[in-house]
Structures are given as C-alpha cells and as structure tokens.
Amino acid sequence: MKVIDDFSINTTDYELAASLYNKLKSKGIQGSNIDFLICAVALSHDLSIYTYDKDFFRFAGAIPIKLLQ
C-alpha cells in the first residue's frame, strides 16, 4: 500500500530552489539548500509542507508556500 507519492526532482525544481534562495537572501532570510529544494518541490506540485521547523515559517512570510502545523 502506497501512502505517499514520490516526486521526481528535475532541473526546474533546482532552478526554482536557487531563485527562492536568492529572493530570501535579499530579504535577509537564510536557510539550507535542502530547505529551499523542499519549498521548490512543494510549490511545483501545489503541496503543503508539514513541519515544526521555524525556518519554514519565516520562509512563508516571503514566498507563497503552504504550511501545515
């Protein structure tokens, strides 16, 4: 039984992650490359991110990610 879908990460996801990094860095918000890749894949597939990581809540103030708590 498959509960969670797997998503392939492609070049456009990496490019979006780099763009998110640059956008947030220009606003003084830092994060890890993996965090931005998670945000990029979530945005590409219209997914919400389930997290308690405070970094994602800071990201959500500057980029249109959806968060579940």
Asked if residue 2 is part of any domain, the answer here is no
Q: Whole domain around residue 17: which residue ranges? A: 11-68
- Asked, for residue 49, whether it belongs to a domain, the answer is yes
49's CB contacts (< 8 A; 6+ apart) are 38, 39, 42, 56, 65, 66, 67, 68
4, part of any domain: no
d(CA 68, CA 36): 17
Express each pLDDT in 8-59 by its tens digit: 899 999 999 999 999 999 999 999 999 999 999 999 999 999 999 999 999 9
- Structural domains of the chain, count: 1
- The pLDDT score that the predictor gives to residue 7 is 79
pLDDT of residue 40: 97
Q: Quick one: pLDDT at residue 1?
A: 58
CATH of the domain at 37: 3.40.50.1010
- Is 3 part of any domain? no
